[in-house]
Every structure is written in C-alpha cells, then in structure tokens.
Structure 1
Amino acid sequence: MVYIWVNTSDPKFIRELNRLSRQEHANPLEILVKNRYRDWGTLKYSLRSVEKFAPWIRTVHLVTSGQIPYWLNMDNRRINIINHKEIFPNRSDLPTFSSAAIECHLHRILGLSKRFIYMRDDVIFTDTVELSYFYTEYAGYKLQLNKDAMDYCNKLCRMTSVNNGICEQNCATASCEFDGEDCIIVEPLPDYIEPDKIPINSWQASLRHTGFIFNKVLGPKDMIMPIPGPYMLDRDIVSGMTNRLVILERRFTRELKTTSSAKIENNMTFQPVFAYYNYLRDEEQSRNLNIKMTTEWSVLEISHTDLSIRQKDPVVNLLRNIIKRNGTFLVLSNDFPKNVDRESRERIFTQVLEDILPRPSQFEVMKHKAIQDHSIPYQYFV
C-alpha cells in the first residue's frame, strides 16, 4: 500500500508553499488552496483501519518530502518511508506540492509489489476489505466508477470534440483549451458559454486536460471517472502506459515533464490515476495486453450542511450516520465551508474517527512516548 503525506503544521512547509504559490501564480479560482495541503490527522486513523479491516496488506510505503509523523512507529517493519528524492529521476523537479507530480513516480518505489493499493490519507476503511474487492483472476481489475461523467467542457462542446482533428468553433473557450490543436486560428467564444454551475479549480481543469491528451493520443472517447477511494494500480501497466503514450505521441514526453516539474496543482498537469483507469479501459477493449476488468458504477453521497459553531454536535452525528451507510470505506471531504476553522474541523474528525477506530494500531508508538514527542510536531530524515 502507498500513501503520500505532508505535515502542514511545519513552518518550513508553509513558507515554501507560499513562496511557490506566488512564483507559479496560483489559480485565483482555486477553492481553499491551502486546505488542499492540510494534514487533518487522518493518516493515523487510516492506518488503524488498514490494520483492522485489511490485515493482508504486507507493507505500507509512506511517500513524503522528508517528514515523519511524530506518532509513527519506526520500529514497525511494515512501514517504509520513501523520500521524494528516491523516486524523482530529475531532482530539479523538487520540491513539489503537486500530488499529480508525485503520483507520476509512485511506480518507481523500490520493492513495490506488482499490484499495489494507492490511497490518500483521508480514506478510511469502515468494513472488512479483501483483495478480491480490487482484483480476482476471473473478473480481473474491479474499477469503481462515478456515474457523474465529464461529458462537456463548456455548454456547447463535448469533451470528445477537443483534439479530434476537426476545428469546432463551439470549443473555443478556455475550459476546452480552445479546441486543443484542432484550430490554427479561432475566435474565442463569449464568457457565458463557460460552465456556470461548478467552479473550475485546478484539479477539475487538469482532469479535462488529461482527457484532451487521450483524445489526441488514443482517439476521442468518453472518459470514465474513478470514485475517490482506494485504487489498485499495476506497477507494470503504469510503466507501460507511460511508454506507450510517449511512443504514440512525442508531445506526451512534454506533458510528463510539465507534470513532474509542477510545483503546485495547476490546470495543465496530467492526472495519473484518472489516466490509468481510462488507459486500462482502452487496453481491455482493444485486448492489447490481455487485461480483464469489471466496472461497477457508484455514487458517493455528499451532504452540504451549515457547519456553524452551534451545530458542531449534529454534524458529528451526521458524519457517524454517513460512515454507517457507506459500507466499505469513507472519504473525508476537503470541502468544508470557510466558517469552520481548523480546530473545529479537527475536533469533528477526531470525534468521529475515535468513535469507530478507538484502538491504536501497531503503526503507532506507545502512548506515553507519543505524548512525550508531541512537543516536536514534525521530524525529518535525509
């Protein structure tokens, strides 16, 4: 299993992120930019859930910029700390605060299993998970997909119309990258053609950009969207995907370099997990690699509640109910309203997670030592 993690209480992290955000001219429409890099203390509970509900996982690879959680039991042989420097071929791409950049190189982890689970630290198992949830010899790879597909990049242009070899005026908006490489000269459409219901942040824009790349390289197809959660990836297929895309389209080499060198999330990065699912679908349909897969369509419920101070306890109860209904795993949302401060949010998460996962795991140091070390909120290794 692989996690990527960062300690955002680290003053060095905060200074460097602020500097790079200014340098890279961060997207002003990004929703709560700093919250995308918050550590809400969920990794500890995610590991508890792994030990309780997926004990068959042998090794946990924790990929960081050199930070180590103060509570992590470094004597546990199932923990392997990976520094970004160990997996980035080009050291000049570091430091990075882009998850897409890091995900591009996860398959380079030394000693990584052929098939591995990649999971964000805000994903918590809430029920027993067997390997067969992700893969069986009979069904192949089991892909959990979101029914809410990305069909249009603006009100008039389908995603499959960009980079399809036909110049289409309806796609001449920024959200459709001005029809990609289909038009030499095109008159931009008025702003009202752009989507007006969903704010375009860098993550959403980079998903679209990845779709446009696939249109160019593999031919226009509707893109499938994996639901947030644990992902099973095949190390060899990830590597093969990269090599094949480079062979088919030399321009893809530039896309990889752009993503790997990204300092923060931005619109023009390549989303590796999203790309992997779509590549797997394409290969299975074309039978190029003798890949088998089964798709299951899901919808994750998202409740938008007024999280004012007087409603903190009802919110805790609401989250408990969501956990019970969700079944296999829970994804803790980053989309808390601005009126919920960091302390309130951490309290809510802690209450809920302590309720369902109260027992410390073997990934944690002894309680008395953790308390003793808490005065040092972050540690480094070289």
Structure 2
Amino acid sequence: MAQGLALWTRIINWMAAIFVYNVGNLKSRSEEGWKFNTSFPVDLVYTWVNGSDPKHQAILARLKTTLQKAKAYTATRDRNLANMRFVDNGGLRYSLRSVEKNANWIRHVFIVTNGQVPDWLNVENPRVTIVKHEAIFDHPENLPTFSSHAIEHNIYKIRGISERFIYMNDDWLFGQNVSLADLYTENNGTKVYLAWNAPTQCGEKCKIEMIKNDVCDQLCNYDHCAWDGGDCIDIPEQKPKDKDTAHCDYTNSVLYTNAIYNRAFGIKKRRVIAHAPLFIEKKVNKDMVQR
C-alpha cells in the first residue's frame, strides 16, 4: 500500500512538472500576487468519464456493433473508440485538490459527464456541480456521444456558468500558485499558450488548403480528413486501405480548425494550442460554433 501511494505521488509530481513546463512555466508574474479577488467571476469546467463502468462499456460495445453492421467502422473510428481512451486513472481528485490549493479564486467547478459521478466526490459541496450531457446538447438524438470534441463544443451552454471560464482535462494539475493574470489580462485579453506546428496534410495527397474550400476533393473524402471538411456531403467516400492513415480525433480537429482559419484569414503556418488550461469567453465560443 505504501509503495503504491509513493508511486502515485511520483506520478502526480511528474505530471505537475510536465504541465508547468508545457505552458512555458505557468507562474504568476502579476504584482498583485497569485491569490486575489478577480474583477469578474471565473468558473472551471472539467470533462470526465469512467471507462471501467459496465454501463459505459455496454453502450460503447453497442455503438461499435452498429457501426460494424453499417460497414462504417473505419480505422479512424477504431482508434478513437479504443477502450484506453476512456480509462480513469483517478487524476480528477488530484486536479481538484491542486485547484483548491493553487487557484482557489475560482468561483465554481462544473464536471461534465454522461451521468457518471465519481464515488469519492462530495456532491453536497456547494462549489461543485455535476452536469449531464443532456443538459448541454440541443439535440438529445445525438447522444450518447463518445467524442470529447462534441462535448467541448457545447460546454459554454452550461446553465449558470460565468461569461468567462476555464476548461481543463482531468489529467491537468496546477503545480504551483496560479493567478488569473496567467490566463487573462484586461489589457491584452486571453493568453494562448502554443506548442508544435500544426500539420499541413491529413493524408498522403490531401493538403490542408484542399479542405473546406467549397469543392469536393476526392483525395480528402474520407473520415480522417473530415470528409474534405464537409465539402463532400452526400458523395460516396474514398476507402483508404492503409490503417496507418487513421487519425485520432484531436488531429482531425486541428486539421479542420486550420482549414477554417485558412478560409477566414488566408493560408499560413500555425501552431497547435498547448495541452494546458484554456480560458474561454462564452461569446467567442458561441461565434466559433456558428462558424
């Protein structure tokens, strides 16, 4: 037991160190210090799932069977519906503790789930609310969903959430004291931490400038190129034979977002947002969804 606890402690410390490194040392540089009253309320949103839940596993298995019968179970879907993508390693508990210790200026915490509730969570805590997917999806027929991007697409609709809020995954921790100034300032607005260069191709021959250009390019007409960004709706898709061409949903979202940016602002090289807390404004989120 003691060895297991020591191992978890090392893992958590390592994850915290990685988090701080990835965002360029997310440490308060404001003269006010890290702990101060914000000029407006700021809430925090997590998305969480427990992949070991038998009910969750049964629903996922039925979806896979349905897709297989429809001959729509592609390599990309196989990669994104793998059981490993829904594993709960207990990180949410430690992430919440890091928030309370290092960012306790946050007003309220919303945990978005498919109805699951962590068995260790004190649901009577007035600062924590469990939000079911049904509460934020306008079309219940689209549920259940196993796409984190579909869920993230709708979190700004949480009832009662602040106009400006922070979105985090449950494997993120604040490894040291953090202030609002690390994520947002009145003078400069939202701070965006960037990582590596965004990919410029989603396939061997499909380039990013070909996606979502109002022309159906058959070279991009399959699932891991987002069916040419929607340009090839109702047109039979290509069937790539190489399983290695499959992308995870995250890569798909980067490609699609980059295509939208190209359309709006011109073709250029861009960088991917770092794996770090995101400061979101509801009005901006809504505008992005409408685009």
Say yes or no: TM over 0.5.
Answer: yes
Counterpart secondary structure, 1:101 = helix
Displacement of 1:178 in angstroms is: 7.6
Contact 1:135/1:141 (<8 A) preserved: yes
User: 2:282, 2:116 → 1: CA distance?
Assistant: 25
Indicate whether 1:15 and 2:58 are aligned: yes
User: 1:71, 1:59 → 2: CA distance?
Assistant: 18
Structure 1 pair 209–81 and aligned structure 2 pair: CA distance change class (3 A): same
Counterpart secondary structure, 1:205 = helix
Displacement of 1:212 in angstroms is: 3.3
| Superposition pairs of residues 85-234 of structure 1, within 5 angstroms | 85-155=134-204, 158-164=207-213, 174=222, 176=225, 181=231, 200-216=247-263, 219-234=266-281
Displacement of 1:61 in angstroms is: 0.4
For each residue in 1:248-302, what CA deviation from the matched residue of structure 2 results, as whole angstroms up to 9, or x when unmatched?
xxxxxxxxxxxxxxxxxxxxxxxxxxxxxxxxxxxxxxxxxxxxxxxxxxxxxxx
Amino acid at match of 1:115: R
Contact 1:164/1:219 (<8 A) preserved: no
User: 1:94, 1:176 → 2: CA distance?
Assistant: 23
User: 1:166, 1:11 → 2: CA distance?
Assistant: 44
Bigger radius of gyration among the two: 1
Structure 1 pair 135–173 and aligned structure 2 pair: CA distance change class (3 A): same
Displacement of 1:154 in angstroms is: 3.7
Amino acid at match of 2:75: P
User: 2:56, 2:203 → 1: CA distance?
Assistant: 36
Per the alignment, residue 34 of structure 1 pairs with 83
Counterpart secondary structure, 2:191 = strand
| Superposition pairs of residues 253-268 of structure 1, within 5 angstroms | none
Structure 1 pair 24–179 and aligned structure 2 pair: CA distance change class (3 A): closer
Counterpart secondary structure, 1:69 = coil
Q: Percent of counterpart pairs with the same letter?
A: 39
For each residue in 1:303-344, what CA deviation from the matched residue of structure 2 results, as whole angstroms up to 9, or x when unmatched?
xxxxxxxxxxxxxxxxxxxxxxxxxxxxxxxxxxxxxxxxxx
User: 1:3, 1:127 → 2: CA distance?
Assistant: 19
Structure 1 pair 125–23 and aligned structure 2 pair: CA distance change class (3 A): same
User: 1:173, 1:104 → 2: CA distance?
Assistant: 23
Amino acid at match of 1:2: V
Aligned-residue CA RMSD (Å) = 3.5
Per the alignment, residue 285 of structure 2 pairs with 238
Structure 1 pair 19–235 and aligned structure 2 pair: CA distance change class (3 A): same
Per the alignment, residue 64 of structure 1 pairs with 113
Unaligned 5+ runs, structure 2: 1-43
User: 1:27, 1:43 → 2: CA distance?
Assistant: 31
Per the alignment, residue 2 of structure 1 pairs with 45
Per the alignment, residue 83 of structure 1 pairs with 132
For each residue in 1:48-91, what CA deviation from the matched residue of structure 2 results, as whole angstroms up to 9, or x when unmatched?
11111111111000111222111111221110111112111212
User: 2:255, 2:271 → 1: CA distance?
Assistant: 11
Displacement of 1:201 in angstroms is: 2.9
Structure 1 pair 163–84 and aligned structure 2 pair: CA distance change class (3 A): closer
**How many residues in Structure 1 have an aligned counterpart in Structure 2?**
240
Contact 1:6/1:67 (<8 A) preserved: yes
Structure 1 pair 11–144 and aligned structure 2 pair: CA distance change class (3 A): same
User: 2:111, 2:220 → 1: CA distance?
Assistant: 42
Displacement of 1:111 in angstroms is: 1.0
Per the alignment, residue 38 of structure 2 pairs with none
User: 2:155, 2:189 → 1: CA distance?
Assistant: 22
Counterpart secondary structure, 2:176 = coil
User: 1:211, 1:224 → 2: CA distance?
Assistant: 9
Counterpart secondary structure, 2:123 = coil
Amino acid at match of 2:281: D
Which piece of structure 1 moves more, 35-44 or 156-165?
Answer: 156-165
User: 2:86, 2:227 → 1: CA distance?
Assistant: 30
Displacement of 1:14 in angstroms is: 0.8
Counterpart secondary structure, 1:147 = strand
User: 2:147, 2:228 → 1: CA distance?
Assistant: 26
User: 1:157, 1:121 → 2: CA distance?
Assistant: 34
Displacement of 1:15 in angstroms is: 0.5
Amino acid at match of 2:123: M
Displacement of 1:150 in angstroms is: 1.5
Displacement of 1:23 in angstroms is: 1.8
Contact 2:51/2:88 (<8 A) preserved: yes
Displacement of 1:168 in angstroms is: 7.8
